[in-house]
Amino acid sequence: METKVYDIAIIGGGIVGAATFYKLQKRNPSLSILLIEKEKRFADHQTGNNSGVIHSGLYYTPGSLKAENCVKGRHELVQFAKDHKVPHEVCGKVVVATKKEELPYLDKIFENGLANKTEGIEKISAKQIKEHEPHVEGVAGIYVPCTGIIDYRVATEKMIEHAEGINEASKTILGEEVTAIEKGSAKSTVVTNKSSYQAKHLIFCAGLQADRLARKDGVELKERVVGFRGDYYELTDQAKYKVKHLIYPVPNPDFPFLGVHFTRMTNGEIECGPNAVFTFKREGYGKTDFNWKDTIDALTYGGTWKLFFNNMSFGINEYRRAFSKKLFLKTLQGLIPSLTMDDIKPGRSGVRALLLGTDGDTRDDFRIAYLDKSIHVLNAPSPAATAALAIGGQIAEKAETHFNLK
């Protein structure tokens, strides 16, 4: 058992936890900060398995935390990547309407982008789409020059590395899962499966486990985190020339995800996806992965069933695509009709955490809760990776007053 008392313990070593560590330590070099991550390396779940896109801020409701933090965080992230040699490229993307019925939604997205000060966006014609992406078929689109790609795992590791270098009294722990929180008047004890640690204040950035750790710490929370797996395909070498940068469809406003898209990754691979299917294991990346606790938690929650009923047809289609390469290809052909079965091969999967409302609503904004001696990031879905430095800065600033650090 460790007897040292840290000023702050951060639970969760994804990019939001890393950014919070980095921003707190930069603003307060004298603070001793402990970062605990249950996996053997940082960024091993949502951060390390997302699409690697630096989002522009195009889709989010003006004035929301998602919109404000995405735009601010994007600028910070790109500068951080430049300063610390994180693989990235601001390569731009096109959002494509493939039929006239999508044009009103395309216009709404464009107006969102203007309101959110997404710089450089412009409406483009079918002919102009071809200038950016010659193999894409569409009736109109939006060109978004400030969208980019990045290696989020490397970005996370760099944030932690630089934070650790500021104060030798700070420390990171890998491979220990937090199992309990014991509160005291002056300090709290964080109990893990291997040890225990003491800290005056706690910050939780636990992603897929955010609701469970919040309840362990006494947060009154009606909602539950529900996991959705996203499966990707990759373009084979013979087809990579068909995608230059990033290609997105117009998202269906009735479905809470952005739709299957094409992303050229920093390693040169081109991914197609993801779909979005309910997962029976919060940290399960295989199509048949299963966990009793996760399944019971999700299926005994009324919000899950309301989500299913509200999105029945979409959900069925997503599941069919998850097990059918032919159906996945058909979706991709909506944007690039010339793709064939030989042009795609199965890729990786990721899982995203959504704090699901009791009414089945998945569209909750970024959400942070404050207790007397702790802060909880309860909901940080996409674009949280893009916005991480802005979120971390916001938490660091709030922590200074909330915990009376100065």
CA distance 121 to 186: 51
115 touches 351 (CB < 8 A): no
pLDDT of residue 118: 96
For residue 345, the surrounding DSSP H or E stretch is: strand 344-356
Average pLDDT over every residue of 109-132: 96
* pLDDT at residue 170 greater than cutoff 80: yes
The predicted pLDDT at position 310 comes to 83
Average pLDDT over residues 371-379: 95
396 vs 334: CA distance, rounded Å? 44
pLDDT digits (tens, 9 = 90+) for 6-18: 999 999 999 999 9
pTM for the whole thing? Answer: 0.95
pLDDT over 70 (residue 254)? no
Q: What's the CATH number of domain 5-47+153-223+365-402, 1.10.357.10, 3.50.50.60, 3.40.50.620, 3.40.50.1220?
A: 3.50.50.60
Whether the predicted pLDDT of 1 surpasses 60: no
pLDDT band at 253 (very low <50, low <70, confident <90, very high): low
Instruction: Please determine, for residue 2, whether its predicted confidence score (pLDDT) is greater than 90.
Output: no
Q: Is the pLDDT of residue 162 over 60?
A: yes
Angle at 154 between CA 351 and CA 118, to 5 degrees: 75
Q: How confident is the model at residue 111 (pLDDT cuts 50, 70, 90)?
A: very high
Average pLDDT over residues 100-113: 95
Query: What percentage of the chain exceeds 70 in pLDDT?
Result: 97
Task: Give the C-alpha distances (Å, rounded to integers) separating 12 from 219, 248, 287, 379.
Answer: 17, 31, 25, 13
Distance CA 393, CA 20 (A): 7
Angle at 151 between CA 75 and CA 141, to 5 degrees: 60
Fill in the DSSP letter of residue 239: G
pLDDT for 3 equals 78
Does position 257 have pLDDT exceeding 70, yes or no? no
Confidence category of residue 312, pLDDT binned at 50, 70, 90: confident
Residue 256: is its pLDDT beyond 90? no
pLDDT bucket at 402, cuts 50 / 70 / 90: very high
The mean of the pLDDT values for the chain is 94
Start-end ranges of CATH 3.50.50.60 in the chain? 5-47+153-223+365-402
318-350 pLDDT, tens per residue?
Answer: 777 778 899 999 999 999 999 999 999 999 999
pLDDT of 59 over the 80 cut: yes
Average pLDDT over residues 254-267: 82
d(CA 367, CA 227): 17
**Which pLDDT score, from 0 to 100, does residue 319 have?**
76
State the pLDDT at residue 239: 97
| Average of per-residue pLDDT across 262-288 | 92
What's residue 318's pLDDT? 79
Q: Are 228 and 351 in contact (CB under 8 A)?
A: yes
Tens digits of residue pLDDT in 65-91: 999 999 999 999 999 999 999 999 999
From 1-5, 10-14, 268-272, the region with the lowest mean pLDDT: 1-5
